[in-house]
């Protein structure tokens, strides 16, 4: 075992990337944006889903793709530590997508992908935040690279290195106006896509509440009063 | 001590000589500004009043030099710390500056890094942690000598005005209608409470703030007099923080002085 560890320590970043990609080749995750909704499906042995308190006005969800059960639990425990530390300094309400994304990027990079970490990890994450009139999605790769989900196609495919299967998935969306698809229709479509793959799939969908009229945010006035003092 | 125990019962704490000596030696080691009372401070009346769709924050303009001197009558004691919040403090200016600068920078840094404004609960909790560092100042004999803030804000989730009141050592609570601090606060809190039911709009709240400031100015030497120096008044609502113009404040003052009865005798 010790020998294996030593060998892994010696793995270069490039080798880790190759190994991680091969681990992820069997995995598949998809996030699709519809009409004021998001639907995500993940092929994973154990779905790691974490929802923040909806009473705070913001629903934050983290979904994990691939990775072992232990790795997912470790990640979840670290997120709990973050929430606890944030709560004691500020408030649980301040746990937002960008903060969690920032934290998880560092966590994945430091713990699994740096030259000092023992082994690469196939864990990839999907972060979704639903606020009063916002719906934000971000995906985080195994090496800590975060990508906001906002491309024009409205589709993000995660894992799945098989080009043929990727093409097949893309074909399902051809000629469809995703921006006009309600959540029910989108769920049916994503359900259909999951049949291309073997294994257990977990699916989640989020609806965005109707926009409320609100005045635009102002830029902060430059510390009024300090100059006058 | 025995007399005290007799009077208050057995629950009265016994302070041993050693403990008492420690407290006294601690007092001797406090910064000069706290022990001798010669530091620059704002004796102050600052307060916040809620109305239906927002909150009004007001502060007088006087900064004292030592016990009785006036260093300035043009200080601004209401400080915007984020788009939707402001603090107003009374006490030693070094503590007040420390609180204001830290609160402003943490709010700006959070917004810049995470694209969101620090929540009002988060701001209150952080302000509490800043005050905890000054816990020893509770040894001073008047709590507003230290740098006690009032945090006023408009919370966007859900849309509602909020006011937090703090103690010198960090304890805080959310006030229902009004909160204030400073040497003049005791003189005006009943004036404000008395008109609570009349405050519906922003205009009502501004008028009440000016009225309270007039009372404060005539009852405390540490507070600037509205007859000569207009207070600073700001409002925070769904559109954010904005100052109330001096013309409006002067108009309210003149109206209150010209009313039959009431404050007309002060004119």
CA A225/CA B107 separation, integer angstroms:
17
Pairing of the two strands A48-51 and A59-65: antiparallel
Is pTM beyond 0.90? Reply is: no
Beta-carbon contacts of A158 under 8 Å, excluding residues fewer than 6 positions away, are A27, A28, A29, A30, A31, A42, A65, A124, A126, A139
pLDDT exceeds cutoff 50 at B23? yes
CA B78/CA B89 separation, integer angstroms:
7
Q: At what angle do helices B93-114 and A97-108 cross, to 10 degrees?
A: 70
- Mutation site for A-interface testing, chosen from B122, B124, B160, B224 by largest number of A Cβ within 10 Å: B122
- Mutation site for B-interface testing, chosen from A92, A133, A223 by largest number of B Cβ within 10 Å: A223
Banded pLDDT at B8 (limits 50, 70, 90)? very low
Query: What is residue B20's predicted lDDT score, i.e. its pLDDT?
Result: 57
What phi and psi, each to the nearest 5 degrees, are found at residue B15? -105, 115
CB contact under 8 A, A94 and B115: no
Banded pLDDT at B2 (limits 50, 70, 90)? very low
Mean pLDDT score, A54-77: 73
Least confident of A64-78, B4-18, B114-128: B4-18
Query: What is residue B203's predicted lDDT score, i.e. its pLDDT?
Result: 95
Give the chain B residue whose CA is nearest to the CA of A57: B157
- DSSP count for chain B of H helices, then E strands: 8, 13
Query: What is residue A220's predicted lDDT score, i.e. its pLDDT?
Result: 46
Q: Percentages helix, strand, coil for chain B, rounded to the nearest 5?
A: 40, 25, 30
Mean pLDDT score, B133-156: 76
Return residues 100-159 of A near B (CB < 8 Å): 102, 132
Banded pLDDT at B36 (limits 50, 70, 90)? very low
Banded pLDDT at A45 (limits 50, 70, 90)? low
- Calculate the CA A127 to chain-centre distance: 3
What phi and psi, each to the nearest 5 degrees, are found at residue A163? -65, -30
Contacts of the segment A68-71: beta carbons below 8 A, 24+ positions apart? A69/A45, A71/A112, A71/A121, A71/A123
Fill in the DSSP letter of residue A110: I
Q: What percent of chain B has pLDDT over 70?
A: 76
Query: Is B160 exposed, middle or buried (CB count within 10 Å of its CB: 0-12, 13-18, 19+)?
Result: middle
Cα distance from A98 to chain B (closest Cα, Å)?
Answer: 5
Beta-carbon contacts of A95 under 8 Å, excluding residues fewer than 6 positions away, are A52, A58, A60, A82, A83, A86
Cα distance from A84 to chain B (closest Cα, Å)?
Answer: 13
Nearest to B114 among A89, A96, A217 (CB): A96
Among B239, B231, B197, B235, CA closest to B212? B231
Contacts of the segment B110-113: beta carbons below 8 A, 24+ positions apart? B110/A90, B110/A94, B111/A220, B111/B82, B113/A98, B113/A102
What is the rounded (10 degree) CA torsion for A209, A211, A214, A217? Answer: 80
Query: What is residue A118's predicted lDDT score, i.e. its pLDDT?
Result: 59
């Amino acid at each position: 075992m010790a020998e294996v560890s030593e060998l892994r320590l010696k793995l270069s970043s490039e080798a880790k990337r190759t190994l991680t990609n091969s681990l992820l080749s069997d995995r598949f995750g998809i996030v699709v944006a519809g009409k004021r909704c998001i639907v995500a499906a993940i092929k994973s042995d154990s779905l790691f889903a974490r929802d923040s308190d909806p009473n705070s006005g913001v629903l934050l969800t983290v979904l994990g793709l691939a990775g072992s059960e232990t790795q997912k639990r470790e990640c979840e425990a670290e997120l709990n530590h973050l929430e606890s530390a944030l709560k004691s300094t500020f408030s649980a309400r301040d746990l937002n997508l960008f903060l969690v994304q920032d934290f998880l990027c560092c966590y994945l990079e430091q713990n699994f992908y740096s030259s000092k970490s023992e082994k690469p990890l196939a864990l990839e994450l999907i972060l979704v935040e639903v606020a009063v009139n916002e719906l934000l999605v971000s995906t985080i790769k195994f090496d800590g690279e975060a990508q906001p989900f906002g491309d024009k196609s409205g589709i993000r495919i995660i894992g799945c290195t098989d080009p043929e299967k990727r093409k097949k998935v893309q074909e399902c969306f051809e000629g469809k106006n995703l921006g006009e698809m309600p959540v029910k229709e989108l769920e049916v479509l994503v359900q259909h896509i999951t049949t291309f793959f073997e294994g257990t799939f977990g699916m989640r969908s989020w609806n965005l509440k109707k926009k409320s009229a609100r005045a635009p945010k102002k830029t902060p006035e430059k510390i009024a009063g300090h100059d006058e003092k | 001590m025995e007399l005290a125990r007799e009077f208050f019962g057995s629950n009265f704490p016994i302070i041993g000589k050693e403990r008492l000596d420690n407290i006294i030696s601690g007092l001797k080691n406090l910064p000069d500004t706290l022990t001798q009372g010669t530091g620059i401070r704002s004796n102050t009346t600052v307060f916040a009043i809620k109305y239906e769709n927002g909150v009004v924050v007001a502060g007088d303009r006087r900064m004292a030099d030592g016990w009785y001197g006036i260093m300035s009558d043009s200080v601004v004691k209401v400080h915007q710390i984020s788009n939707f919040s402001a603090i107003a403090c009374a006490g030693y200016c070094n503590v007040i500056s420390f609180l204001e600068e830290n609160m402003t920078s943490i709010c700006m840094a959070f917004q810049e890094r995470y694209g969101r404004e620090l929540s009002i609960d988060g701001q209150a909790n952080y302000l509490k942690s800043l005050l905890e560092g000054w816990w020893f100042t509770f040894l001073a004999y008047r709590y507003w000598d230290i740098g006690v803030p009032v945090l006023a804000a408009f919370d966007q989730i859900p849309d509602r005005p909020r006011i937090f009141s703090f103690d010198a050592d960090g304890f805080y609570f959310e006030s229902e209608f009004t909160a204030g601090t400073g040497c003049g606060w005791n003189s005006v809190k009943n004036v404000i409470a008395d008109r609570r039911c009349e405050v519906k709009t922003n205009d009502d709240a501004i008028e009440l703030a000016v009225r309270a400031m007039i009372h404060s100015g005539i009852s405390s030497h540490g507070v600037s007099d509205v007859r000569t120096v207009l207070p600073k008044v700001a409002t925070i609502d769904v559109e954010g923080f904005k100052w109330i113009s001096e013309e409006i404040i002067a108009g309210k003052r003149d109206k209150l002085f010209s009313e039959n009865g009431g404050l007309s005798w002060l004119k």
